[in-house]
Structure formats: structure tokens, C-alpha cells
Amino acid sequence: MTFFYMMALFAVGLVLIIKGGDWFVDAAVWLAGVLGVPQFLIGATVVSVATTLPELTASAIAAFEGKVDMAVGNAVGSVTVNVSLILGVAVLGAPFLIRRSQLWGQGALLAAGCLVALLCSLRGSLSALGCVLLLLLFLGYVAFNIYTAKKERSAERPAARPGDRRRQIAGFLLGAAGIVVGAKLLVYSGSGIARMAGVPEAFIAVTIISFGTSLPEFTIAVTAAVKKHTGLSAGNIVGAGVIDITLILPLCAVFSGRALPISPQGLLLDMPVSLVAVLVCCVPALLTQRFRRWQGACMVGVYVLYVAALLWLFV
């Protein structure tokens, strides 16, 4: 297989995963509206789950095929990409206020997930206890969102999105198929590019693939910033990070059928940096109840330093 053929497959995989995610989100939000789910709960759960489907499918397929470094690197790397690069760019473009009550729960769960994943991997693999603790944090995330939705629910029910029922169902199914097929192509071409270029798969996973599968979050962040709905962007990105760490990592262990080995790169750099990125994202915002441009610059700086360290130490 030639390098250009692999790059073409990679590009096709990205297009499928992005367009599939777009169709899936539209259909999922329409379905939630039909069922009368509160709008807050739609944003906090359906949108976050839908935008993390690329990470979930890419990591699950990689784990099932034995490419554990790629599976773990994509899940952990997506957290770093989301909370440092993507949200950082959004904050640089449009600083915004955020209520402490909106951020503290998800921010605390995300930081706890990163810390648990790191501590439970110190012996070189993510232990069964670590997987259980992460899944408990995920259940806590779901419970927190339900509690908050009930607490802040308005008297009005969200209206169902207009459109033909068959078109929405087709979009739901085609979107899911596009995500799965795109993730398969992404994993296959990513590992092929890594082998041809002599680059470790773990590096490809935490940079190119993790950014590629985070493009739905990037799209939402940019759109939300343009439409002045930046709080939605922050909630989706932090929520997606919680899912990446607390759900996708344990599922990778299930799909691999064994304890999840963590590479030296993952243990010494990827996981610690993801925790630092979360703290840089959440702590100043919790203290001041706003995201400022200097904080956005710091968040982007964390990602730039992270990639530089990867190139210096592991490539």
C-alpha cells in the first residue's frame, strides 16, 4: 500500500466520521425533542455522547484489533485536544462568562477521571479496579446531569425539530454507519501511515487521530462561538472529556479482552498532560466565573508544549 493511498483512506475516514457525526447529532436531537426530553439534558447528554462516538468507535475498533496504544492514545489524547486546543481557540476568539454551578460538577468529574486513570495505571496497565472506578464516575456524570436537568427544567417542553420522520431515521442510521466505517478507515490508515513513516502508533493516535475524531467538538465550538452560545461549547467539550476518560477507556479494556497496557508515553506524558490541561481549563474559570483570553492562550500553550514534548521524547 502506498503512502498516498493510505492518506486518501485517512481523508475518506475523516469525511465519513465528521458527516456521520453531523447526521447522527441532528437525528438524535430531533428524537429527543419528539420524546419531550428537556433541552438542557439534550445538550448535556445526547450531544456529548454523539460527538464522542468517533472517539468511542475508533478506540473500540483499535482495541479489538490489538492496537492498544492507538486505542488508549486516542481516548486520552482527545481529552487534551478538546480542553486545551479546541476550547482554548474558542476562548481566544470569544471570551465568555460561565456560571460556577454549570462547570464545577462536570469539571470535577473530568479531573477525577484523569487522576484515577493515571493512578490506576502506575504499574503499566489500567487495572480492573481502575476500570470499575472510572465507570462509577461515568454513572455519577449521568446522575449529575439528570439531577441538574430536573433542577433547572423549565415549564415548556422542547418542540420536536421539523422534518420528515423517515429522513430523520435515515439520518440516524446513516450517521451511525458513517461513524463506524470512518473510524475503521481511520484506524487502518493511521496505523499504516505510522508504520511507513517509522512513527510510533501512540504518537499518531494522540495527535492526528485524536484531533480528527474531535472535529465534531471543534465544529460545535466554532459554531457556538459565532452564534454567541459559547457556554454550550464549554459544556459539550468538558462533557465529552468525561465520556472519553470514564467510559471509553474501560470499554477499550473490555474490547481488548485483557488488562489495558499503558505505554511509557501514555504513563509519563499523555495522562499527566491531560490532567494538567483539565486543571488549566477549569480552575481559573471556577474562580472567576469567566474564560478570558489569557486563559485561552495558556490552554493552547499546553497543547503546543505537549506536541513538542512528544516530538522531542518519543519520535
Average pLDDT over residues 70-79: 86
State the architecture of 3-152+161-314 in CATH terms. Up-down Bundle (1.20)
More confident residue, 283 or 203: 283
pLDDT of residue 156: 45
What pLDDT does 158 receive? 47
pLDDT given at position 298: 96
Q: Which amino acid, one-letter code, is at 70?
A: M
Q: How far is CA 72 from CA 54, 67, 96, 123, 229, in A?
A: 14, 9, 32, 16, 32
Query: For 102-112, how does the pLDDT look when each residue is reduced to its tens digit (9 = 90+)?
Result: 788 889 999 99
Q: At what angle do helices 100-119 and 128-152 cross, to 10 degrees?
A: 170
Q: Can you tell me which residue has the cell 502508533?
A: 201
Q: Quick check: 314 pLDDT over 80?
A: no
Give the Cα separation of 205 and 201 in Å (integer): 6
**Cα–Cα distance between 180 and 212 in angstroms, integer?**
14
Average pLDDT along the chain: 82
E strand or H helix that includes residue 162 = none
Pairwise pLDDT comparison (209 vs 265), residue with the higher score: 265
pLDDT band at 217 (very low <50, low <70, confident <90, very high): confident
Question: Which parts of the chain fold into alpha helices (H)?
Answer: 3-35, 39-41, 48-51, 53-64, 68-80, 87-93, 100-119, 128-152, 165-197, 201-204, 210-213, 215-226, 230-243, 249-256, 264-265, 271-288, 293-314
Q: Name the pTM for this structure.
A: 0.78
| Rounded CA separation 196/291 (Å) | 41
Q: Which residue has the higher pLDDT, 199 or 247?
A: 247
Mean pLDDT throughout 60-73? Answer: 83
Cα separation values, 35 from 69, 155, 158, 236, 264, Å = 40, 15, 9, 21, 46
68-80 vs 293-314: helix axis angle to the nearest 10? Answer: 160
Higher local confidence (pLDDT), 83 or 189: 83
The residue among 285, 227, 300, 260 whose CA lies nearest residue 123 is 260
Domain residue spans of the chain: 3-152+161-314
Q: What is the pLDDT of residue 80?
A: 92
Q: Are 233 and 122 in contact (CB under 8 A)?
A: no
Sign of CA dihedral 274, 276, 279, 281: negative
Where b means 16+ CB within 10 Å and e means fewer, 43-81 reads: bbbbbbbbbbbbbbbbbbbbbebebbbbbbbbbbbbbbb
Write down the residue that cell numbers 508504520 correspond to.
195
CA distance 237 to 227: 17
Tell me the pLDDT band of 299, cut-offs 50, 70 and 90. Answer: very high
Q: How many residues in the chain?
A: 315
Type of residue numbered 21: G
Report the pLDDT averaged over residues 236-244.
Answer: 88
C-alpha cell at 127: 487495572
Condensed to tens digits (0 to 9), the pLDDT of residues 45-59 reads 677 777 787 778 888
pLDDT at 128: 87
What is the pLDDT at residue 37? 57
What are the grid coordinates assigned to 247, written together?
A: 467510559
Mean pLDDT (whole number) for 117-131: 91
How far apart, in whole angstroms, are the C-alpha atoms of residue 38 and residue 284? 30
- What are 279-297's pLDDT values in tens digits? 999 999 999 999 999 999 9
Q: Is 308 exposed, middle or buried (0-12, 13-18, 19+ CB in 10 A)?
A: exposed
Mean pLDDT of 209-231: 71
